[in-house]
Amino acid sequence: MDANLPQREALLATVRVLGAERLSVGTTGNASLRLGTDGSYLITPTGLPAEACTAADMVVMAPDGTPQGVRAPSSEWRLHHDIYAARPEAGAIVHAHPPFATALACRRTEIPPFHYMIARFGGPTVRCAGYATFGTQALSDLALAALRDRRACLLANHGMVVFGRDSAHALMLAIEFEMLCEQYWRALQLGEPVLLSDAEMAEVTERFSWYGQPQDRDRS
Phi-psi region of 124 (alpha: psi -120 to 50; beta: other; left: phi over 0): alpha
Which residues lie below 8 Å from residue 169, measured CB to CB, with a gap of 6+?
Answer: 91, 92
CB count within 10 Å of CB 122 equals 17
Phi-psi region of 191 (alpha: psi -120 to 50; beta: other; left: phi over 0): left
DSSP string, 79-110: HHHHHHHH-TT--EEEEE--HHHHHHHTTT--
Task: Look up 76 and say whether it is catalytic.
Answer: yes
DSSP string, 174-196: HHHHHHHHHHHHHHHHTSSPPPP
Residue count of the chain: 220
Catalytic residue among 9, 51, 76, 203: 76
Catalytic residues: 76
